[in-house]
């Protein structure tokens, strides 16, 4: 049966769009190749008692009146889906040789803490932090729809933002002559982008860093509750989500997309699905190749020529009979590097595949909320994330599966060596469960080409006005995913909500101008 909106994929932006459309009375059908909804936001259970979220670790823009909150209110989910705030005195703990910095909510306190560590560089530190603030304000004003009056009113902020259009984070570090250790501390949450300062867009870093300073959060009932709430909204309003169903072809009538052919991955039977409008939550490059590049305009094709973000390595671990709070963990993330220069760390791990001195993120989801447990009472979950090269792991897995598994174990052991030396001396004695994931794991379960973690790479080239958006140049066909918006929890919420606004005319985001501005330049969260 023909539906109003056929959504290809159940990633977060697709679910947000689908829930909003279903709630407004439209017929919605979602096709998902995986057995679980949510894409990188899905939750999986191991050993029948441990629950892990695939990728998400913390989020922003979730406070009262913020865009995520406004969307949830529209869906009547704001009472069921609530958020716990990370410690504003230090939501990210940065650790490197001879230095430690807890990132606070507030620029003045950040300046003070950095100045205490680098007293001879206080002036440059202050100039850099205030430049970050000016840049963020300028980006908000520059993003469409542009208010000419605001341009002149805030000319200083606008010119500041324009100045860094093609700049990496490293470019700006160098401009302000920040000491190397200060650079590393400020950029230590690089796993949120999986790019080093020398490649990362300054815009992406500014928006993410500033966004978390305004409030870093974790769902009270874990990310599973968010996905389940969106799915329930779709189903309760007459929509349908069909799992284990992979799109294999698109159906076109001239320049109009009318539906898809999709295969049931269990029965291997192929069926046709049609709709008035098709929403593509799967990778745009992948979809465009299936449709045929000749069907897209040169303008859209140019935007489709993006590079994928690097991929990642994940380790999901469970410890028993130990309280991680006794070892310095709590309502924050910890970012560790054994290098003084993160560009060198990236080169060693991503290019040389050498993890003997790993840089990685540590997150402890069981310490972020007490509302609902994701493991037995005598256990806690601790997870580790770092960068990994898809080509390397794909070749290993294809040619020598044993070597592939050994490499994953090698990385985890290197990380655990660091953890035992600097954080939890006896962690291996308390490990009762561990499972690792590589770039090929991402590709297998989330159907992301090359195992990419964040869609298109957040380099200066892929940011700003040249970035892909909802528009496809085909009739009744729209992109709606990380590469046609931005990756991460809040940005994918915005991506889905903005497309809903565009197609429905229902302006649910009372702060929509700010939303549009942030959406254009936002970074990611992990």
Phi first, then psi: give them for residue 505, nearest 5 degrees: 80, 5
Q: Rounded CA gap, 524 and 367, in Å?
A: 22
- For residue 38, the 8-state DSSP code is B
Per-residue pLDDT, 156: 66
pLDDT recorded at residue 154: 62
Residue at 184 is within a domain: yes
Structural domain boundaries, residue 142: 106-214
The answer as to whether 62 is a domain residue is no
Does 358 have pLDDT greater than 80? Answer: yes
Pick the closest to residue 411 from 308, 312, 310 (CA basis). 312
Q: What's the CA gap between 330 and 324, in Å, rounded? A: 8
First to last CA, the chain: 38
Give residue-wise pLDDT tens across range 330-345: 999 999 999 999 999 9
CA 111, chain centre distance (Å): 27
User: How far is C-alpha 392 from the geometric centre of its chain's CA atoms?
Assistant: 23
Whether residues 314 and 417 share a domain: the answer is yes
Cα separation, 313 vs 388, whole angstroms: 6
Q: Does residue 74 sit within a domain?
A: no
pLDDT at 60: 86
Residues 321, 297, single domain; the answer is no
Kindly list the strands in the beta sheet with 83-85, ordered across the sheet, starting from the edge strand earlier in the chain: 59-60, 216-219, 83-85
418 shares its domain with 398: yes
pLDDT tens-digit series, residues 61-81: 888 888 898 999 999 999 999
Residue 363 lies in a domain: yes
User: Is it true that the peptide bond before 145 is cis, omega within 30 degrees of 0?
Assistant: yes
Average pLDDT over every residue of 182-198 = 94
Is the per-residue pLDDT at 152 higher than 60? Answer: no
523 band by pLDDT with thresholds 50, 70 and 90? very low
Report the candidate in 213, 190, 194, 185 with the shortest Cα–Cα distance to residue 60: 213
Asked if pLDDT for residue 511 goes beyond 90, the answer is no
Task: Quote the CA–CA distance of 463 and 402 in Å, as a whole number.
Answer: 39
What average pLDDT score do residues 244-269 get? Answer: 96
Alpha carbons 158 and 243: distance in angstroms, whole number: 46
Lowest mean pLDDT, pick from 5-14, 17-26, 71-80, 484-493? 484-493
Asked if pLDDT for residue 513 goes beyond 60, the answer is no
**What would the pLDDT profile of 412-466 be if each residue is shown by its tens digit?**
999 999 999 999 999 999 999 999 999 999 888 888 889 888 889 999 988 877 7
Q: Is 80 exceeded by the pLDDT of residue 143?
A: no
Rounded mean pLDDT of 165-193? 95
pLDDT of 21: 97
Q: pLDDT class for 145, splitting at 50, 70, 90?
A: low
Contacts of 254 (CB under 8 A, 6+ apart): none
Q: What pLDDT, on the 0 to 100 scale, is given for residue 526?
A: 39
Residue with more model confidence, 1 or 145: 1
Residue 86 lies in a domain: no
Q: Which of 4, 89, 37 shows the shortest CA–CA distance to 281?
A: 37
Q: Are 213 and 105 in contact (CB under 8 A)?
A: yes
Same domain, 111 and 204: yes
**If you write DSSP's letter for every residue of 389-403 in order, what string do you get?**
-HHHHHHHHHH-HHH
pLDDT for the residue numbered 128: 96
The confidence score (pLDDT) of residue 135 equals 85
Indicate if 119 and 173 belong to the same structural domain: yes
Report if residue 47 sits inside a domain: no
Q: Stretch 276-297: mean pLDDT, rounded?
A: 95
Same domain, 509 and 490: yes
Q: Which pLDDT does position 517 carry in this prediction? A: 40
Q: What is the CATH number of the domain that holds 257?
A: 3.50.50.60
Of 426, 446, 466, which closes a domain? 446
Q: To the nearest whole number, what is the mean pLDDT of the chain?
A: 90
* Single residue among 421, 446, 471 that ends a domain in this structure: 446
Q: Report the pLDDT value the prediction gives residue 67, as an integer from 0 to 100.
A: 84
Among 120-129, 156-165, 312-321, 486-495, the minimum mean pLDDT is found in: 156-165
Per-residue pLDDT, 150:
66
Residue 144 reports pLDDT greater than 90: no
The answer on 411 and 501 residing in a single domain is no
Q: Give the distance between the most distant pair of CA atoms in the chain.
A: 70
Contacts by 105-114 with C-beta closer than 8 Å and gap 24+? 105/213, 105/214, 105/215, 106/213, 107/132, 107/133, 107/213, 110/213, 114/182, 114/185, 114/186
Predicted TM-score (pTM) of the model is 0.90
* Same domain for 509 and 473: yes
**Does residue 56 form part of some domain?**
no
% helix, strand, coil for the chain, step of 5:
45, 20, 35
Per-residue pLDDT, averaged over 374-390, amounts to: 94
Domain count, the chain: 3
**In terms of domains, do 384 and 334 share one?**
yes
Mean pLDDT for the stretch of residues 458-486 = 89
Query: Distance between CA atoms of 446 and 441, rounded to whole angstroms?
Result: 8
Where a domain ends, among 180, 197, 214? Answer: 214
448-482 per-residue burial string, b: 16 or more CB within 10 A, e: under 16: bbbbbbbbbbbbbbbbbeebbbbebebebbbbbbb
Confirm whether 412 is domain-assigned.
yes
Helix (H) or strand (E) holding 72: helix 67-74
Pair (176, 243) in one structural domain: no
Strands (E), 32-98: 43-46, 50-53, 59-60, 83-85, 92-96
Is the same domain home to 314 and 442? yes
Query: Is residue 315 domain-shared with residue 442, that is, in the same domain?
Result: yes
Each residue of 297-314: pLDDT tens digit? 999 999 999 999 999 999
Judge whether residue 93 has pLDDT over 90.
yes
Given this model, what pLDDT does residue 315 score? 96
């Amino acid at each position: 049966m023909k539906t109003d909106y056929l959504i290809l994929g159940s990633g977060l932006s697709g679910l947000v769009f689908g829930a909003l459309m279903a709630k407004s009375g439209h017929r919605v059908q979602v096709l998902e190749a995986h057995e679980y909804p949510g894409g990188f936001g899905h939750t999986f259970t191991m050993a029948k008692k441990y629950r892990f979220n695939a990728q998400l670790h913390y989020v922003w823009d979730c406070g009262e009146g913020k865009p995520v909150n406004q969307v949830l209110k529209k869906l009547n989910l704001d009472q069921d889906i609530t958020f716990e705030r990370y410690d504003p005195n230090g939501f990210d703990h940065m650790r490197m040789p001879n230095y430690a910095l807890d990132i606070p909510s507030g620029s003045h306190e950040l300046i003070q803490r950095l100045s205490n560590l680098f007293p001879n560089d206080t002036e440059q530190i202050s100039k850099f932090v205030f430049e970050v603030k000016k840049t963020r304000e300028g980006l908000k004003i520059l993003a469409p729809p542009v208010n000419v009056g605001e341009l002149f009113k805030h000319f200083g902020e606008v010119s500041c933002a324009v100045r860094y259009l093609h700049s990496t984070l490293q470019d700006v570090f160098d401009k302000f002559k920040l000491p190397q250790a200060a650079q590393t501390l400020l950029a230590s949450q690089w796993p949120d982008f999986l790019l080093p300062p020398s490649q990362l867009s300054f815009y992406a870093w500014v928006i993410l860093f500033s966004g978390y300073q305004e409030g870093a959060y974790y769902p009270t009932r874990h990310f599973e509750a968010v996905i389940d709430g969106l799915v329930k909204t779709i189903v309760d309003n007459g929509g349908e989500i069909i799992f284990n169903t992979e799109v294999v072809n698109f159906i076109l009538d001239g320049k109009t997309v009318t539906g898809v052919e999709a295969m049931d991955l269990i029965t291997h039977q192929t069926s046709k699905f049609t709709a008035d409008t098709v929403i593509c939550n799967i990778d745009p490059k992948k979809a465009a190749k299936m449709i045929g590049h000749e069907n897209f305009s040169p303008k859209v094709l140019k935007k489709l020529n993006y590079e994928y973000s690097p991929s990642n390595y994940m380790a999901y671990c469970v410890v028993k009979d130990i309280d991680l709070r006794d070892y310095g963990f709590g309502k924050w993330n910890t970012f560790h590097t054994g290098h003084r220069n993160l560009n060198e760390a990236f080169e060693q791990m991503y290019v040389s595949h050498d993890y003997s001195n790993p840089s990685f993120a540590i997150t402890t989801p069981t310490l972020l909320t007490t509302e609902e447990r994701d493991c037995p009472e005598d256990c806690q979950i601790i997870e580790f994330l770092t960068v990994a090269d898809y080509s390397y792991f794909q070749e290993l897995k294809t040619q020598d599966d044993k070597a592939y598994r050994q490499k994953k174990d090698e990385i985890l052991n290197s990380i655990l060596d660091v953890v035992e030396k600097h954080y939890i001396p006896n962690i291996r004695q308390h490990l009762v469960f561990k499972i690792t994931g590589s770039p090929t794991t991402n590709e297998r379960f989330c159907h992301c080409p090359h195992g990419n973690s964040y869609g298109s790479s957040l380099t200066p080239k892929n940011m700003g006005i040249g970035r892909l958006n909802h528009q496809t140049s085909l009739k009744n066909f729209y992109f709606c995913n990380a590469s046609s918006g931005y990756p991460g929890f809040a940005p994918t919420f915005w991506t889905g909500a903005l497309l809903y606004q565009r197609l429905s005319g229902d302006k649910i985001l009372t702060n929509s101008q700010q939303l549009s501005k942030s959406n254009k330049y936002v970074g990611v969260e992990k």
